[in-house]
Amino acid sequence: MFATGVALLALLPLGFVVWATISTGWAEAEKLIFRPRTGELLWNTVRLTAGAVALCAVIGTATAWLVERSNLPVRKAFHVLLTAPLAIPAFVNSYAWVSLLPSATGYGGALLIVTLSYFPFVHLPVAAAFQGLDPALEETAHALGLSRWRTFTRVVLPQLRPALLGGALLVALHLLAEFGALQMLRFPTFTTAIYDQYQSTYNGPAANMLAVVLVLCCLLLLVGELKGRGRARLSRVGTGVARPATRARLGRAAIPVLTALCVLVALSLAVPLASLTYWLSGSSAEFDAEMIAATATTSLALGALGAVCTVGLAIPVAWLVVRHRNALSTFLERSTYFGNALPGIVVALALVTIGIQVVPGLYQTTVMLLAAYAILFLPRAVVNVRSALAQAPPVLDDVAHSLGSGRLAAFRRVTLPLIAPGLGAGAALVFIAVVTELTATLLLAPIGTTTLATQFWSHSDSAAYGAAAPYAALMVLLSVPATYLLTREGIRR
């Protein structure tokens, strides 16, 4: 029952898109959608997404292979360094680049910067997939007479496919949703255009129609990934522990490979951090301590509230799908995943519209903002709560009952201690996501509520780079723990 409510909340934005299309009417919608501007935006969005996905896939797979399957020196350190860019929000990264190198705009600059920000999304799952690969399969292929390269293309690559596709999907969805970075790099895509349209006409059908096209793009990607994943089962068959793989020797390639990796780390990590340090220590740095403290407090409070609400909503959904798996519970769980595919701008537009037309009492309140966070970040919470619940199989409840514990006692003494770490991890991830969220916060925050992200944005938007630096630094600092969690997860798997 409660889970149904959560699923409905998660599906609100989709409902909004359908409603917007119907209420605009086909003739009007046609006029708004099929115009040169839409084509231009579509072309920009597609070429940026395609380019960045291709680059991220190549870079991420290569780095994952080097870390997991070659005799690269200091592999563990490289794994951390290659994941670390995730701690720098893309809009902070583009601020760092543009403030140092004002010419880093347009397609080239955007492609470079989003690739540097998002390639870890491919590196992490592919590295995990390499760890899960049973080297016996590759040895069998060698024994059947396949060369090293043919073994890679015919045995290894097909098994990496789900991880690679999943990572690519994540990159693509993030790009479709990306607002801050691309606005700063002056590379208009659907998301930035919707924002501009919203600023000038406020909730007009033009912005809504662009949102419809954007959502269609997202759905297209989801379906594409599902089709691409295919029906093959790629888990290991049989029992027994997989041996660690023998690592390929880099030999004479070691020096160029190391150089390339160092350049990658320098561009993705050293440049933004150096830029931040420069602006922090520079003469134009402004430390309005009071303002910084106030926004930090707001951000922390919103982050904590958002984390508690979102995890609270995720628990019933995850419980249903783990303990009472059927068509309905699977459907409810899947519907919460739409948040992953929906750009913040669409969620914000949907809530603005609903706020104005249905529940005016909620418009411009913190509740509305928290609802947006819940829709956007439910997937992270559900995934974590779900795997936490999987750590507490029902047989443990049975045993606790047979030992005299009632329902409540069994939950308190067995289930809760087992799922607590997973709940904590889910809450931490949501917390960080909320603290660095920009788009929905800009549109939905009550008047007078400024967060680290919005304050950073208003400074850097007016090229006050020094004044923006402390807020950027704080956001990066707050993102470090969650990023660390991600690397550990990768290592554990």
Partner 1 sequence: MTALTIRGVTKSFGATPVLGGIDLHVPAESLTAVLGPSGCGKTTLLRLIAGFDDPDAGVIAFGDETVFGDGRSTPPQRRHVGYVPQEGALFPHLTVTANITFGLPRKARVAKHRVPELLELVGLDVRVADRYPHQLSGGQQQRVALARALAPEPSVVLLDEPFSSLDAGLREATGRAVVSALRATNATAVLVTHDQAEALSLADQVAVMRAGRLVQLAEPPVVYGSPLDVGVARFVGDAVLLAGQVRGAHVDCPLGTIALRAGNIDGAAEVLIRPEQILLRGDGSGVPARVEEVSFYGHDAAVRLTLLPDGPRVVARITGERDLPAPGQQVGLVVTGDALAYPLSG
- How many whole angstroms separate alpha carbon 344 and alpha carbon 223? 20
Least distance from partner 1 to the Cβ atom of residue 324, Å? 14
Q: From the CB of residue 46, how many other CB atoms can be counted at a distance below 10 Å?
A: 12
358 CB burial (10 A radius; 0-12, 13-18, 19+): exposed
Of residues 308, 396, 464, 485, which one binds partner 1 by CB under 8 A? 396
State which of residues 240, 251, 404, 448 lies at the interface with partner 1 (CB under 8 A). Answer: 404
User: Between residues 204 and 393, which has the closer beta carbon with respect to partner 1?
Assistant: 393
Q: Does residue 228 bind partner 1 (CB under 8 A)?
A: no
* Least separation in angstroms between CB 420 and partner 1: 9
Of residues 226 and 420, the one with the C-beta less far from partner 1: 420
Residues 407-426 that bind partner 1 (CB under 8 A): 413-414, 417-418
Q: Is residue 325 at the binding interface for partner 1, with CB under 8 A as the rule?
A: no
Convert residues 338-377 into a mask of x (bound to partner 1 by CB under 8 A) and - (unbound): ----------------------------------------
CA distance 309 to 372: 11
Separation of alpha carbons 40 and 360, rounded Å:
36
Identity of the residue numbered 166: G
User: Binding segment for partner 1 among 129-137, 138-146, 389-397, 475-483 (CB under 8 A)?
Assistant: 389-397
Q: How far apart are CA 99 and CA 464, in angstroms?
A: 9
Phi, psi torsion values for 391, nearest 5 degrees: -75, -15
Gap between the Cα atoms of 351 and 441, Å rounded: 12
**In the complex, least distance from residue 481 CB atom to partner 1, rounded to whole angstroms:** 23
Return the bridge partners of 124, or none. none
Q: How far is the CB of 354 from partner 1 (least distance, A)?
A: 41
**Nearest approach, Cβ of 453 to partner 1 (angstroms)?**
37
Cα gap 267→263, rounded to integer Å: 6
- Alpha-carbon distance 30 to 209, whole Å? 9
Please identify, using beta-carbon distances, which residue of 27 and 241 lies nearer to partner 1: 241
> Does 406 sit near partner 1 (CB under 8 A)?
yes
DSSP state of 245: P
Q: Which helix (H) or strand (E) holds 85?
A: none
Residue closer to partner 1 by CB (options 99, 415) is 415
Please give the full DSSP string across 466-477, using - where no structure is assigned. Answer: HHHHHHHHHHHH
Residue 387 in the binding site for partner 1 (CB under 8 A) = no
User: Does 326 sit near partner 1 (CB under 8 A)?
Assistant: no
Binding mask 252-281 for partner 1 (x = CB under 8 A): ------------------------------
> Are the beta carbons of 53 and 244 closer than 8 angstroms?
no
CB atoms within 10 A of CB 329: 19
Which strand (E) or helix (H) includes residue 215? helix 205-229
Piece of the chain touching partner 1 by CB under 8 A; list 39-47, 367-375, 401-409, 443-451: 401-409
Least Cβ distance, residue 397 to partner 1 (angstroms): 9
**How far, in Å, CA of 437 to CA of 454, rounded?**
9
53-61, 73-81, 395-403, 435-443 -> range binding partner 1 (CB under 8 A): 395-403
Q: Is 328 in the site for partner 1 (CB under 8 A)?
A: no
Give the interface segment with partner 1, choosing from 16-24, 84-92, 168-176, 397-405 (CB under 8 A): 397-405
Q: Which residues lie near partner 1 (CB under 8 A)?
A: 391, 393, 395-396, 398-406, 413-414, 417-418
